[in-house]
Amino acid sequence: MERIGYFNGQIGDLDTMQIPLCDRSVFYGDAVYDAVLVLDRKTFALDLHLDRLYRSCAMTEIRFEMPREALEAEIARLLEITPMGQAMLYIQVTRGAAPRKHEFPANAQPNLIMYTAPIKVPPKDKRASLASIEDLRFQYCNIKTTNLMPNVFAAQKATSQGATEALFHRGERVTEAAHSSILMLKDGALVVPPLDELILPGITRAIAVKLCEDNGIPVITRVFTVEELMAADEIILCSTTKNLIYVFEIDGKAVAGKDRPLAERIQKLFLEELYRQTGVRL
């Protein structure tokens, strides 16, 4: 099996496994999730991803009481039969199965859904383009829930315009991309938007920030606008499945390309950290 599914301890073919029709993730998207890069069955930054998963459960009041050590053991079971190579581990915790009713069910037990599937991480010299789209999502973007229809619409719109990703902005303020974080380089510093209810705290973003701080690269956290982004020295798009790639175009206009040495230094630091944790070089 290339695509391996998991539901509450049962493992099988992802395409044939089933979940209860009355699971609240079906009715309401009432679930949280996280996604982890796996290289030759070794996870990258698993601790950070599980931190965020449990935090998302707490923020949505999903009573996921599985001890972290037990969850890690179940992940290990899944990875044991995952084919070697590049893969993604998807983890989802739902509020549980219950008759359809908007209010939280009193006695529903959370369901744990996971799967692994092969992916192809973009090469480090991948050039990305963005399409700017007004950010119409709700104001819980800092929680990694499965309510992703606005992201889906934006990603499809960007794809239909021939762009790699959708660049979200609220008015002039840049927030993030449909399924990535947006960082920029300006005057020798890494500039990142502040984390609030409008932005998901990205794991790849967090690692990039720490690597810069540990290696003497200034990091500035502040709001920046679409106009400022257009004038950035470099623009970095980052996520679990993209790692760090460069943006060269926004809305059909050429951007960035003015400080490639610094961008490549940050990318090299990231790939070394990836190697340190997994033993795999990309």
Q: Which residues are catalytic?
A: 144
Contacts of 142 (CB under 8 A, 6+ apart): 59, 195, 196, 197, 198, 199, 200, 201
Question: Which pair of tokens denotes residue 131?
Answer: 């399409």
Q: Can you tell me the distance from the alpha carbon of 256 to that of 46, in angstroms, rounded to the nearest whole number?
A: 32
Q: How far apart are CA 141 and CA 32, in angstroms?
A: 12
Q: How many CB atoms lie within 10 A of CB 30?
A: 22
Instruction: Give the Cα separation of 237 and 260 in Å (integer).
Output: 14
- Read off the DSSP letter of residue 125: T
Q: 């927030």: which residue's tokens?
A: 175
DSSP β-bridge partners for residue 186: 189
**Of residues 89, 82, 71, the one with CA closest to residue 34:** 89
Phi-psi category of residue 105: left, alpha or beta, with phi > 0 → left and psi -120 to 50 → alpha: beta
Nearest-angstrom CA–CA distance, 136 and 221:
23
Phi, psi of 116 (to 5 degrees): -125, 145
Round to whole Å and give the CA distance between 201 and 168.
15
Query: In angstroms, rounded to a whole number, what is the distance separating the alpha carbons of residues 158 and 215?
Result: 35
Question: Residue 271 corresponds to which amino acid?
Answer: L
